[in-house]
Amino acid sequence: EYPRDIWSLGCMLFELATGDYLFDPRGTAEYPRDEDHLALTMELMGPMPHELLMKGKKTPLYFEPILNRTQPAQLLHIRQTKIWGVAGILDQKYRMRPEFAKGFAAFLEPMLQLDPEKRSTAQELLAHPWLHEDLRVVMEKIQADDAAKAHAAGLGVMPAGGDPGDEDDEEDEDDDDEDDEEEDDDEEEDEEDEDEVGAA
């Protein structure tokens, strides 16, 4: 079914971008591996929807009984879960540039919706702005920023829009000017020597 494939696609894209698994659950003596997996998904995307839990046959194995639907569902053993969000993980853990992390997260989140019925289809994802204008604009800004920083650091890289050869041309012109000045000095010294010889 496509919701499962879309979920897998989101996980793989995250892994390609970071080099890490999106979810790497571990079981302990206090809680099973599946419960840790559920906790990790909730840290990423927020509380599990009550409507989804009501449909789950194994919900009682991992969640407290739902007594108040206005309160977030609680896992049986893992109590404290901080909601990071996709952009927060990309920014804080992987130190991605905020403008890139925000756009990439906006592309991933529709694939990682906890409710399968709310996940984007492949056709919807192909039309996502991040794959088109947003990504191009962000990458151009990143490249321009990197070039400006490198140039300011004296690495000889001009900002976007500049001509990398301009600086080299200026250096060549300076070298030529210095050579011309040295030649003029040599000619003046030769003329002075000739005058001294003639006077002798």
153-191 tens-digit pLDDT: 876 555 545 544 455 554 555 555 555 555 555 555 555
DSSP 74: -
**Cβ 41 vs Cβ 33: under 8 Å:** no
Instruction: Provide the pLDDT for residue 90.
Output: 95
Instruction: Provide the pLDDT for residue 196.
Output: 46
Q: Is the pTM for the entire model greater than 0.85?
A: no
Structure tokens that stand for 4 in this block? 């499962």
Residue 138 has pLDDT above 90, yes or no: no
Pick the most confident of 67-76, 128-137, 160-169, 187-196: 67-76
Under the phi-then-psi rule, with left for phi > 0, alpha for psi from -120 to 50, and beta for the rest, what region is 49?
A: beta
Average pLDDT score over residue span 132-143 = 77
Structure tokens that stand for 82 in this block? 């901080």
Flag the least confident range among 40-49, 56-65, 75-84: 75-84
Instruction: Provide the pLDDT for residue 147.
Output: 83
What type of residue sits at position 2? Answer: Y
Place of tokens 């390609």: 16
> Would you say how long the chain is, in residues?
200
Structure tokens that stand for 33 in this block? 């591996």
Residue 86 has pLDDT above 60, yes or no: yes
Q: How confident is the model at residue 197 (pLDDT cuts 50, 70, 90)?
A: very low
Q: Compute CA distances 26 → 12, 23, 30, 31, 79, whole Å.
A: 19, 10, 11, 9, 16
Dihedral sign for Cα 59, 49, 55, 24, please.
negative
Instruction: Provide the pLDDT for residue 31.
Output: 94
Distance of CA 143 to the CA centre of its chain: 13
First to last CA, the chain: 107
